[in-house]
Structure 1
């Protein structure tokens, strides 16, 4: 397994300070089968997702477009959605 900190971490820290975004392979992210079944890539070990696996939040700008589409309608949040209307929105409330 190889995890790399996202190079956009300063921007992501402003948006979601409680999350840690890493670039990992889809195979290592252990996404649910219903998501994996929507991805047609030959090797899930070569397709990247930028995410906080523990909190089920991904960064679409650094995630394979097919993976982004497969995650729609699941329990995973795109970081901007998470921060504005998802669980992260309450942590920014004054």
Structure 2
């Protein structure tokens, strides 16, 4: 049985959104730095679009699937130990620090 994973197009759209926001933040920072010093004048990098190939998107989708599966399993263990049938936000909050260290 094949595991379902996230749609590569969805992951690509999310990554593009993040890349676009970071590029805008960098432009704002470079603009304020250029006003502060003349050394930065004329040294800006050429803006080029960031992209990901199909294999990178597949790998990112799989990594995200594994991360979420592991988070749900760990939170379910905590919920079960507390005698609760449903995972709550507090269960996720408790497992998150160690989960981030493990990944």
The TM-score bracket by the shorter chain reads under 0.3
Which structure dedicates a bigger proportion of its chain to helix?
2
Q: Which has the larger radius of gyration?
A: 2
How does the TM-score come out when normalised to structure 2? Answer: 0.26
Greater relative CO (CA pairs within 8 A, separation 6+):
2
How does the TM-score come out when normalised to structure 1? Answer: 0.28
